[in-house]
């Protein structure tokens, strides 16, 4: 018999490597997208550790938590900049 086959016809060893690379790339992309704070760095480090340990369910959960945190921060309004913008618009 041939090699064991994993999800989508990829050999299971290849699947593990591909998933690990995808999760790590996701953590790197998320971390590079916005300035990192201490919690985001800790989440990214935990994500890498979970991926390296083969704990993909944990890694996926950590990736979701990191993404949610960064999306929430991206939606936060900088009040100083908003006041300046509004003051400039009001004076026109």
CB 60 within 8 A of CB 23: yes
Which residue, chain included where needed, has tokens 């890694």?
59
Statement: residue 74 has pLDDT above 70 = yes
Q: Please say whether the beta carbons of 27 and 63 come within 8 A.
A: yes
Give residue-wise pLDDT tens across range 9-29.
Answer: 445 566 566 667 666 766 666
- Average pLDDT of the residues in 33-48: 78
Query: Which three-class secondary structure state does DSSP give residue 63?
Result: helix
């Amino acid at each position: 018999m041939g090699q064991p086959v994993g999800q989508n016809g990829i050999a299971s060893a290849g699947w593990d490597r591909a998933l690990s690379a995808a999760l790590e790339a996701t953590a790197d992309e998320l971390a590079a997208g916005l300035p990192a704070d201490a919690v985001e760095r800790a989440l990214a480090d935990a994500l890498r550790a979970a991926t390296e340990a083969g704990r993909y369910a944990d890694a996926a959960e950590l990736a979701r938590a990191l993404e949610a945190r960064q999306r929430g921060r991206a939606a936060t309004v900088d009040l100083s900049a908003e006041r300046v913008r509004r003051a400039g618009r009001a004076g026109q």
